[in-house]
Amino acid sequence: MPADKELLYNDYKATMRKIADVKYATAVLQWDQETYLPPKGAHFRGQQLATLSEIAHNMFTNEKLGKLLNELISKDLDAKQKKNVQLSLEEYNKLIRFSSDFVRKMSEITSASFHAWLEARKQNNFSVFEPALSALVGLKREEANILGYDAHPYNALINEFEKGATVAMADKIFADVTKPLLILLDEVKQKPFAEDRFLHQTFPKQQQWEWGIYLAKQLGFDFEAGRQDISEHPFTINFSSQDVRITTRIDEDDFKNMTWSTIHEVGHALYEQSLPADEYGLPSGEYASLSIHESQSRIWENCIGRGHEFWQFYFPKLQQYFPHQFNDVSVQQFMQAINKVQPSLIRTDADELTYHFHVMIRYELEKNLMEGSLQVKDIPVYWNEQYKNLLGVDVPDDKQGCLQDVHWSHGSFGYFPTYSLGSFYAAQFWEKAQSEIPELSSKIALQGDTGLLLHWLRSSIHIRGKYYSSEELCTLVTGKQLDSKVFVDYLRQKLNYL
């Protein structure tokens, strides 16, 4: 690279890394807010987060950076450098539309919303959350207008989480998968429900915690580059590829809650820990998209963590951790229980089939909120009606209903569709991995060794950073675009096996 280009690109890298420093410092405070922050610290934490968010925004929208990016984009850079500059320039041109006052206000209201959500869950009363959420929804509508959109305001928001995604695209994907899933659900209902009472005995918190740590280590989570904690809603957050935090939650009366939350978040964390450290602060050091991120958690949680091969090896280990609870249970009974299909209230506890109806309900609700056909105060009634119509379940209270997810308190409108997209990508990646690694199943079943899969994911997906869009990456890795039929076939095969 000629000297002038090299100097310019090095200047760009240094600037992006300084911005990343501030953004990840903000993330540390956000992680603390959801794990260890004392209740009285909420007000000043909101102020601190708003200040840092404003600083990061001002750094990114600085005119000097804009000039640097516009100069670099015309240079003869290599492919990765060109992509980095292109993506940063797109982000710059988007962010300069927002005033620093708007960014600060969004951060303040988001922080207030999170604490209002916590209090509303404590009181089991949506009305406690309603004022903060109403303010946040108003800001998200304003954000959509600032970003600009075609056809539907939700398009502006979903694009923030899944570049190129639109309401038309999501509507088609959900329409294509709804009928096959309903047919499969009807077939499952014709059979007796699996016995799963043994999953609802008493499982002491400390034993569950130790079991979760063991699983995380076995799956490849690097505790020298991360840690696990407890939070109200499980999540993964990173401050670099060398510092990735996951959280879980423990219900002493429900074995499934912690185990698959942990496996799910480990899947996210393995992706973050595998991103190239030398690309810190640059798009090439970031994940491809939210749906690809979700594909990584779902492939570990479901394709591995609810698969027969995994438990063929790990069920005896589980019996050592919980001898009283599982000694009289066979691995086949356990498999049937953990893959039991039955409409339920809680999205994060849902089986692989009905899970997507939970996502559809949230997706439709968010669209209606953004277009103004649904008001925030009407969310509980709408939610309860949809759960009755689509899943056939009665919602007993707000905590088990519309207060169950943390996402809206974060302002994450447009996020939920990526959960289903991620599951569909996961099935396609899993199919390809099995075809390319013939010994994968036997390695897992006989040795509990998932390292071959992790290596394949790292070399096929993780190392590529943000160079490709979701569809481009899917086509590159699997040889075809996203096809939800692969997911339906995967699920049908699993359920028939059980």
Residues 217-259 have pLDDT tens digits of 999 999 999 999 998 889 999 999 999 999 999 999 999 999 9
Provide the pLDDT for residue 498.
Answer: 63
pLDDT band at 3 (very low <50, low <70, confident <90, very high): low
Residue 57: pLDDT over 60: yes
Question: Once rounded to an integer, what is the mean pLDDT over residues 480-495?
Answer: 94
Question: Once rounded to an integer, what is the mean pLDDT over residues 48-70?
Answer: 93
54 is catalytic: no
Long-range contacts of 66-72 (CB under 8 A, 24+ apart): 66/92, 66/96, 68/8, 68/11, 68/12, 68/15, 69/12, 71/8, 72/5, 72/8, 72/9, 72/12
Residue 16: pLDDT over 60: yes
Instruction: Give 430: exposed, middle or buried? Use CB within 10 Å, 0-12, 13-18, 19+.
Output: buried
Residue 371: pLDDT over 60: yes
Question: Once rounded to an integer, what is the mean pLDDT over residues 79-85?
Answer: 95
Provide the pLDDT for residue 1.
Answer: 53
Q: Cβ distance 232 to 406 under 8 Å?
A: yes
The residue annotated as part of the active site, out of 265, 279, 286, 309, is 265
167-497 CATH = 1.10.1370.30
Provide the pLDDT for residue 2.
Answer: 62
Residue 124: pLDDT over 70: yes
Provide the pLDDT for residue 444.
Answer: 97
Provide the pLDDT for residue 190.
Answer: 87
Percentage of residues in the chain having pLDDT higher than 70 = 99
Q: Structural domain boundaries of the chain?
A: 3-125, 167-497
Residue 46: pLDDT over 90: no
pLDDT tens-place string over residues 249-273: 999 999 999 999 999 999 999 999 9
Give the integer Cα–Cα distance in Å for 404 and 217: 29
Percentage of residues in the chain having pLDDT higher than 90 = 90
